[in-house]
Amino acid sequence: MTDHSQPQPQPQPPHPVDHELVQAAAHIARTRCRGDNHTMAAAARAADGRIITAVNAYHFTGGPCAELVLIGAAAAQGAHELTTVVAVGDRDRGVVPPCGRCRQVLLDYFPSLKVVVGNGNARRTVPSPACCRRRTCGRTTSSISGRVRSRCDCGGVPLTCGQTREPGRCRSATHARCRRQRSVISMNMPSQ
């Protein structure tokens, strides 16, 4: 017979949410995002514990998202390793997941980066490779460039044209149809 009088411990999420980081991004969104030119704020935790913040630079030609500005700001401040990132919208929109372009760039620059997504009780931290395609061996591949982000000996990845790309070697420049297919797959990944 089981004793149900003692409360069962709640399982901990695999990657706890960095609430200080979310608050920093929300503060920047509230105080620095004014008008239509700056509508998103991002914050990242550097490997040394510092918090780096940035805002987007909207432009009709496709100005950089806050996450991309954040990568440059971090580099300018000497923070070349980021551990966690979050983006928050202005006007109390809350946490906003990265767009497809930002997902790809974050994965390419920081393969082990964690990304805070969701709002309220659904807020969680997910690894950045969750945003991109999984290889059959479980290792991740950059879905646009085709570069293997970690050593893999699965024998290659079948492309939509039927040819095979060896691990670590990208043929996407000669297989434009495959590159477009991978790009569409990456952009259509559901938000975590």
Catalytic residues: 67
Q: How far apart are CA 132 and CA 183, in angstroms?
A: 10
Count of other CB atoms within 10 angstroms of residue 25: 29
Give the C-alpha separation, 2 to 118, whole Å.
36
Name the residue among 36, 18, 39 with its Cα closest to residue 86: 18
Q: How far is CA 100 from CA 65, 78, 103, 172, 184, in A?
A: 11, 26, 5, 18, 9
Of 12, 41, 22, the C-alpha closest to 117 is: 22
- Enter the tokens of residue 56: 């987007």
